[in-house]
Amino acid sequence: MKATMKKIIILVLVSATILNIVAGSFIFLDIQTMNIPDTTLRLELVNLSADEAVLQTNLSINNHNSFPILLQNLTVITVTDTGQTINRLVMEGGEVKGNTNQTFITTAVIKFNGTIPDELTSRITGTFGVQFLGIIKKTFPINFSIIASLHNIINQFTLPQIQLSGNFSEITQEGVNLTGTLIITNPYTIDIAMENLSAAVETDTGIPVGTITIEGKAIPAKTTQQLIGNGRILLKALDAKILHMTLHGDFTVFIAGIRKSMNLSVEADIVPPRIEQLLSDMPTEASLTGKYRFTLLGGLHDQITFEINNPNKLTFLATDITVKINRIDRNKTRLISNGTLADGTITPQNITRLQGDMPIPLSQLWPRLGERFIPDRLQVILRANITIQGLNQTIWIGVIGYQDFPFHQ
């Protein structure tokens, strides 16, 4: 009985050994014909900030074999096109089952020194093999590289949203103060800066009339900022139909520890205001007085005195001054004298007096049909254009005064 049992045990062991040898032979033969797995290495900058960038390395293994393979000792080294090593890390390996695809991912924080390289080269090394009966029976080295271009990192940053406008304020003898406003929206996840900003102003005929300087400023990520600048334009700019503003400067991005500047150019059109819109107080407070003298040969002369108050700090010119004198008889009005006064300067923050002689011929003094021998009164109408030297715009003013006839009834 014992002998029979012993024979059975020996038979089972022999059969198991033969089975393992046969199975191992088939597996060994399968290993010998093993397909090299398809391997894909991809580099991607998944996050950019002003100080650093996050580099993600994706290693994809597609195992076409019917048995699992094992990846070990994976090391990734990334260098720039100048040979500088910016990333060295160990990637955790593992098993890739038969006829499956598996991706191994690792990330690293990198920082560039001064400039962004044109290319990054990542080299991965390690081994993959087949595990049989608890040990590695067959291994292969992994050693390949991938080159990633970084040209698109800068190219993806275009000009942010920019609005340019101008506002006119104080007018002086030297020109008009102009305030430039720049509203900038930064849509990116990194900080940007606007630097070396200046705007040239010219008329619609291309004549330069002034500049504006705007102080630069950093624009944090995902924010909107307003930049203000001041300048002065020539008085003749107010005569233009349209003023063109062209802003030039530098648009700077901060990426992974470096700064990159690009040229900036923005245009805007503004309509210049009328001169009266810039004056806080109009020089329209005026009065008329007259002093008469009579001669038999020369007739009646009216010495007109035109007084005008100028509250501004500007010197004005009074031009095209016309004077008309009417006689009034009850409800009837008749022109008896028509003339002009010489142009004059209206001094700032002062009362200016302009005078002139208005002759009234004797023939005009004689009463006409329906008029009284001596008119009820005389009406004096003065009209003038007020302007600033060097400017084509004018402010029209008119004054009416009434005087008693020098020969009373």
Parts of the chain with a pLDDT under 50: 12, 14, 16, 18-19, 21-31, 409
End-to-end CA distance of the chain: 175
* Nearest C-alpha neighbor of 132 from the set 17, 19, 30, 18: 30
* Nearest C-alpha neighbor of 358 from the set 376, 380, 373: 380
Model confidence, pTM: 0.65
Contact 402, 375 (CB under 8 A): no
Contact 368, 328 (CB under 8 A): no
Contact 151, 45 (CB under 8 A): no
Contact 65, 43 (CB under 8 A): no
Contact 244, 178 (CB under 8 A): no
- For the chain, residues classed under CATH 2.60.40.10 are 37-155, 161-273, 285-403
CATH H-level superfamily of 161-273: Immunoglobulins (2.60.40.10)
Residue 303 CB coordination number (10 Å): 13
- The reported pLDDT for the residue numbered 8 is 53
Contact 169, 65 (CB under 8 A): no
CATH architecture of 37-155: Sandwich (2.60)
- The reported pLDDT for the residue numbered 25 is 45
Contacts of residue 404, defined as CB under 8 A and 6 or more positions apart, other chains included, come to 377, 378
* Nearest C-alpha neighbor of 236 from the set 205, 267, 214: 205
pLDDT digits (tens, 9 = 90+) for 310-331: 888 889 999 999 999 998 988 8
Q: Encoding tokens for residue 283?
A: 């020089």
Q: Alpha-carbon distance 121 to 77, whole Å?
A: 8
CATH H-level superfamily of 285-403: Immunoglobulins (2.60.40.10)
Q: For the purposes of burial, counting CB atoms within 10 Å of the CB of 35, is it exposed (0-12), middle (13-18) or buried (19 or more)? A: exposed
Contact 335, 324 (CB under 8 A): yes
Contact 60, 42 (CB under 8 A): yes
Q: Alpha-carbon distance 365 to 336, whole Å?
A: 7
Q: Tokens 């102080």 sit at which residue?
A: 215
Amino acid present at 148: A
* Nearest C-alpha neighbor of 401 from the set 324, 338, 300: 324
CA distances from 401 to 183, 235, 243, 306, 404 (A): 53, 34, 42, 10, 10
Q: Is 297 left (phi over 0), alpha (psi -120 to 50) or beta?
A: alpha
Q: Encoding tokens for residue 317?
A: 């010119």
- The reported pLDDT for the residue numbered 230 is 93
- The reported pLDDT for the residue numbered 29 is 42
